[in-house]
Each structure stands twice: as C-alpha cells, then as structure tokens.
C-alpha cells in the first residue's frame, strides 16, 4: 500500500521515492507456518512520510503491520575521572608521535 502514509493518523500521499521511507515487510516464519504458506505471499511494501519516519518505524505485529516508536537516542554520559585521564594520556601520546615525525622527510 504505497498510496498514502502507513500512519493512519497522517494524510500525506506518496509522490516521490526520496520523500519518506519505504518498507518491504514479509511475515515472520511463525506466521508463515501458522498459515501453512510454502512461499511468502504476504510480502508488502509500506511507506512512511518523512515526518512520520523520523519518529516511528513499521514492524510485524502478529498478523498485521504495526507502527512502533523509534528508540530515543541516549545522551552521552560523562566519563568517570579515570577514563577521562586515560583519554587525555592517549591524546598526549598521539600529539608526541606527530611532533616526533613532523620534521622527517622519510615518512
């Protein structure tokens, strides 16, 4: 179903491939076994418009496709002081190595 956004609350209509995201979904093996399907006949394509695809994705939910929210990004946590000092030491070693080879022509 590519004529409109797969989000039932959205009324955006599909016009261009570069606007949004297309999903090619096949039923899970469990569903195929339950329905006695030898070859997957339920392969379908779905489209989410750009605003909807930034907030959610499509997954198989039992016997039908379902909208699921995208996981939120985890903010980077501050490093413990031991990790910070180790990171600083690594950066210092890199700078020393660069300085030692800066004047050499045989690099």
pLDDT at 105 over 80: no
H-run or E-run covering 86: helix 81-101
* Residue 69 token pair: 């929210």
Q: Cα–Cα distances in Å, from 62 out to 5, 31, 32, 55, 65?
A: 21, 7, 11, 22, 8
Q: For position 9, what pLDDT does the model report?
A: 93
Q: How many helices (H) and strands (E) does the chain have?
A: 3, 4
Beta strands in the chain, from DSSP E residues, in sequence order: 21-25, 44-48, 56-61, 64-69
How much is the average pLDDT of 62-71? 82
First to last CA, the chain: 59
Q: For position 97, what pLDDT does the model report?
A: 73
Q: For position 10, what pLDDT does the model report?
A: 92
pLDDT digits 0-9 by tens, 15-40: 888 889 988 877 666 666 666 655 55
Cβ-proximal residues to 78 (8 Å cutoff; 6+ apart), any chain: none
pLDDT at 41 over 70: no
Per-domain boundaries in the chain: 21-69
- Give 54 or 60, the one with higher predicted confidence: 54
Share of the chain above pLDDT 90, in %: 18
Q: For position 93, what pLDDT does the model report?
A: 79
């Amino acid at each position: 179903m590519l004529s409109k956004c797969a989000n039932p609350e959205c009324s955006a209509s599909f016009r261009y491939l570069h606007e949004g995201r297309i999903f090619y979904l096949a039923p899970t093996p469990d569903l195929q076994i339950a329905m006695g399907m030898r070859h997957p006949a339920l392969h379908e394509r779905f489209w989410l418009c750009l605003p909807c695809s930034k907030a959610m994705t499509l997954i198989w939910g039992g016997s039908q496709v379902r909208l699921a929210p995208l996981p939120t990004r985890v903010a980077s946590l501050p490093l413990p002081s031991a990790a910070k000092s180790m990171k600083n030491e690594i950066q210092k070693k890199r700078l020393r190595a660069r300085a030692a080879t800066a004047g050499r022509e045989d690099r």
